[in-house]
C-alpha cells in the first residue's frame, strides 16, 4: 500500500507552511468553516429568527460544522497514538506533541483575543483580559460572558482540553484494551455514550433542559464528537490489518459513505434537537476520505486545490469571520438579505483569513519543521526529495 497516496486516504496534497497535507482533509476543514460562516450569515441577515423553511434550516444549521472540526481532530490527533499502540508504529515524542499543538492553536488565538479586546471591546475589562487570555471563558455559568468577545472561541477551548487529555487517554485505552482493536472500540463507544447522555439531558432534552453553559460548552459533553473521529482511526487500522471482504459494490465507493453522511446531516437540519447525529454524519464523512475506498466525482471535488486551500486557512477564517460579520452589521450599509451579506462579507473574510494565515499562523507553523512531527520520525517537507503527506492537524 503506497503510504504517500493513502496516508490520509488521498494522493492529492496541498501545502501548509512548507508541509504537505491531504487535500481531502483540508477540504473537509473548508466545508466545516464555510458551513459555520453560512450559518452566521443567514442568522445575522435574519436577526437569528427561527428558520421557516427546510432550506433556511440547512443554512442556519451550518453552525453544526463545528462538530465536524471536532471529529477531524479526533481522527487526526489520535492516529499517531493508535499507530504506535495497535500497529507497532513509531513512538510518540510528547515534547514535540505539546510544541506542535501549542504552535497550532495559541498564536492566532492570542492575536484574535488581543485585537478584539482592544478594538471591539474598547480596551476590555480586567475580567475579560484574565478570562480570555487564560482560556477560562468556558468556565462560566453566564452565557453572555462566554460569547462577549468572540462567540466561537468556546470550541477552541474544548479543542485545547482534548489536546491535553488525549495522550493520557491513549495510554489508558491501550492498557485497558490489551491493544485489542475491538476492546478499544468498545471502550471508546462506552465513553462516547456517557458523553452523549450528559449532553442529551443537559442540552437536547428540551423538556428537562436547564441552561448550564458550564456543561454545554465542556469537553465531557462534547467528547462523543471527537470519539466519532477516533473510531474511524480504529476502523482504518482494522482495514489495514485485514481488508473486509464484505465491502464490495456500492459500499466500496467513497460516495456511498458520503451519501450516508448526508442522510444524517439532513436529519440534523430537519430538527436541530437531533444535533447529536452530527457525530454519526461526521464519522461517515471522515471515513469516506481516509479509508481505502474508490473515489468518484464528489471525492475529486474534495481534492480541488482551491477548496483545500480554504481549508489550509480555515482556522483563521473560523476565528475572524464572526467579528467581521458583526462589524458589517454595525455599519449603515449592511446588506439586508442573506445573499447581499454573503456577497459583501465573503471576499472580506477570505482576504482577512489569508492575511492572518500568512502573517500569524504560517510563521509559527514553520517552526515545527525544526523538530519534526509528533512521532519520532521526521515530518515530510515540501522539497524535491519528499512527497509524503503529514497527517496530524
Mapped onto helix, strand or coil, the DSSP state of residue 146 is helix
- The residue count of the chain comes to 393
* Residue for grid cell 468518484: 296
Instruction: Give the model's pLDDT for residue 237.
Output: 96
Please, what is the Cα angle at 105 between 103 and 110, to 5 degrees?
A: 100
Q: Are the C-beta atoms of 152 and 322 separated by less than 8 Å?
A: yes
Q: Which three cell numbers stand for residue 275?
A: 444535533
- Domain residue limits, the chain: 3-370
Q: Which three cell numbers stand for residue 101?
A: 499543538
Q: Are the C-beta atoms of 199 and 222 separated by less than 8 Å?
A: yes
Ranges of the chain with pLDDT below 70:
1-11, 207-211, 246, 371-373, 375-393
Instruction: Give, in order, the Cα–Cα distances in Å from 212 to each of 143, 201, 202, 217.
Output: 8, 11, 7, 9
Instruction: Give the model's pLDDT for residue 143.
Output: 77
Kindly report the pTM of this predicted structure.
Answer: 0.92
Q: What is the pLDDT of residues 7-39, one digit of tens each?
A: 344 458 999 988 899 999 999 999 999 999 999
Instruction: Give, in order, the Cα–Cα distances in Å from 122 to each of 80, 118, 132, 225.
Output: 43, 5, 15, 36
Q: Are the C-beta atoms of 369 and 103 separated by less than 8 Å?
A: no
Q: Are the C-beta atoms of 315 and 22 separated by less than 8 Å?
A: no
Amino acid at each position: 500500500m503506497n503510504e504517500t497516496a493513502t496516508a490520509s486516504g488521498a494522493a492529492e496534497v496541498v501545502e501548509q507552511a512548507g508541509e504537505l497535507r491531504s487535500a481531502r482533509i483540508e477540504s473537509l476543514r473548508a466545508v466545516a468553516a464555510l458551513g459555520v460562516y453560512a450559518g452566521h450569515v443567514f442568522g445575522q441577515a435574519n436577526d437569528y429568527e427561527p428558520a421557516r423553511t427546510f432550506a433556511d434550516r440547512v443554512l442556519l444549521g451550518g453552525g453544526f460544522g463545528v462538530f465536524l472540526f471536532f471529529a477531524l481532530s479526533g481522527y487526526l490527533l489520535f492516529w499517531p497514538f493508535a499507530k504506535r499502540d495497535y500497529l507497532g508504529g513509531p513512538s510518540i515524542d510528547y515534547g514535540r506533541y505539546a510544541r506542535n499543538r501549542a504552535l497550532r492553536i495559541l498564536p492566532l488565538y492570542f492575536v484574535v483575543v488581543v485585537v478584539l479586546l482592544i478594538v471591539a471591546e474598547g480596551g476590555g475589562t480586567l475580567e475579560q483580559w484574565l478570562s480570555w487570555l487564560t482560556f477560562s471563558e468556558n468556565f462560566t455559568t453566564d452565557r453572555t460572558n462566554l460569547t462577549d468577545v468572540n462567540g466561537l472561541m468556546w470550541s477552541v477551548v474544548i479543542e485545547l482540553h482534548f489536546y491535553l487529555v488525549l495522550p493520557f487517554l491513549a495510554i489508558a485505552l491501550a492498557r485497558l484494551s490489551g491493544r485489542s482493536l475491538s476492546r478499544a472500540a468498545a471502550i471508546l463507544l462506552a465513553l462516547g455514550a456517557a458523553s452523549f447522555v450528559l449532553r442529551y439531558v443537559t442540552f437536547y432534552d428540551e423538556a428537562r433542559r436547564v441552561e448550564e453553559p458550564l456543561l454545554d460548552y465542556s469537553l465531557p459533553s462534547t467528547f462523543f464528537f471527537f470519539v466519532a473521529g477516533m473510531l474511524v482511526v480504529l476502523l482504518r487500522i482494522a482495514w489495514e490489518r485485514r481488508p473486509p471482504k464484505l465491502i464490495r459494490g456500492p459500499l466500496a465507493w467513497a460516495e456511498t459513505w458520503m451519501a450516508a453522511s448526508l442522510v444524517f446531516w439532513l436529519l440534523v437540519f430537519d430538527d436541530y434537537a437531533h444535533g447529536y447525529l452530527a457525530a454519526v454524519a461526521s464519522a461517515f464523512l471522515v471515513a469516506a476520505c481516509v479509508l481505502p475506498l474508490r473515489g468518484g466525482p464528489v471525492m475529486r471535488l474534495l481534492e480541488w486545490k482551491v477548496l483545500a486551500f480554504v481549508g489550509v486557512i480555515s482556522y483563521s477564517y473560523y476565528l475572524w469571520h464572526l467579528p467581521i460579520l458583526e462589524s458589517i452589521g454595525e455599519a449603515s450599509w449592511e446588506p439586508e438579505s442573506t445573499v447581499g451579506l454573503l456577497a459583501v462579507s465573503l471576499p472580506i473574510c477570505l482576504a482577512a483569513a489569508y492575511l492572518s494565515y500568512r502573517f500569524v499562523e504560517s510563521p509559527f507553523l514553520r517552526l515545527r519543521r525544526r523538530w519534526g512531527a509528533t512521532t519520532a520520525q521526521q515530518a515530510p517537507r515540501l522539497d524535491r526529495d519528499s512527497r509524503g503527506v503529514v497527517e496530524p492537524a
